[in-house]
Amino acid sequence: MPYVTVKMLEGRTDQQKKDLVEKVTDAVVETTGANREKVVVFIEDMKREHYAVGGKRLSDQ
C-alpha cells in the first residue's frame, strides 16, 4: 500500500487539493502498478509562520 505525503503552504482551494490527490494517485498507479484503491495520499497544510527559508519565516517577509 503506497503512502504519499504532500506538504505545502496553506491557501489552496478544496478543488486544487482534489485535483492534486487524483493526479498523484494516477502517477503512483502508473509508475508502480499499485492498486488504485490502495494508494493513500496525505495533504499537510503548513502555516507560513511554520516554514522558513534562509533563516526567515515566510510570515515575516
The x, y and z cell numbers of residue 58, run together, are: 515566510
Are 9 and 51 a contacting pair, CB within 8 Å? yes
Is 28 part of the annotated catalytic residue set?
Answer: no
Q: Which residues, in sequence order, are bridge partners of residue 7?
A: 44
2, 4, 17, 41: which is the annotated catalytic residue?
2
- In the chain, the amino acid numbered 23 is K
Active site (catalytic) residues: 2
